[in-house]
Amino acid sequence: MDNNELKLTSAATAYLGLGSNLGDRLANLERAVGLLSRPLKILRISPVYETEPVDVPEQGKFLNLVVEAQTHIAPADLLKLIKGMEQVVGRGKAGSGQPRIIDIDILLYGNIRVNSENLVIPHPRLSRRAFVLRPLNDLVPKLRHPGNRKTMAELLLALGDIKGVYIYPASVSP
């Protein structure tokens, strides 16, 4: 999609979850963040976490992080833009639960809720995924989920014993 075709909205803060478990995982995350920094204003990036795959067949561990960004791009257009970036980095046609070079999800977009055929915001599994909540909690522990109104810290605490999510000894910068 050409940037001239994007629908613009008032500025919103969006939280994007990134993950990679194929190839040079850290380089994949760095490349994706670099691509995101062109149309979005990256405000902060969480620490990188190495995580066990969740609900998927045997495959390699993921590196995950969350990006906090300011955008004027409408949510549906942001999704289209992200899907294009995944193709550039090398996601390919990996289906749900398959190993991937990069996966980028819109976790939150301002305080809005979207429920369409192609896009659900907040991300429908956000409150059940430690690999998303842990980095979100690092950035915005007091931010409230637009649906259940619990803070990221409360959601993380509700998961109980968090296994398989470990801080990774490298970081990604914009």
Q: In this predicted model, what pLDDT tens digit does every residue of 139-153 receive, in sequence order?
A: 999 999 999 999 999
| Residue 138 annotated as catalytic | no
The whole-number average pLDDT for the span 29-58 is 92
103, 129, 134, 138: which one is catalytic?
A: 103
Domains of the chain: 3-124 (3.30.70.560)
Quote the CA–CA distance of 76 and 82 in Å, as a whole number.
10
91, 129, 134, 138: which one is catalytic?
A: 91
Quote the CA–CA distance of 14 and 132 in Å, as a whole number.
14
| Residue 100 annotated as catalytic | yes
25, 31, 77, 100: which one is catalytic?
A: 100
Q: Which residues contact 41 (CB under 8 A, 6 or more apart)?
A: 69, 70, 71
pTM, 2 dp = 0.92
| Residue 44 annotated as catalytic | no
Measuring CA to CA, which residue among 168, 167, 107 is closest to residue 136? 107
The whole-number average pLDDT for the span 106-114 is 95
In 32-152, the DSSP E strands lie at: 41-45, 49-51, 62-73, 103-109, 114-115, 120-121
31, 105, 129, 134: which one is catalytic?
A: 105
**Better-scored residue on pLDDT, 151 or 8:** 151
pLDDT at 57: 65
Looking at the predicted structure, is the pLDDT value of residue 64 above 50? yes
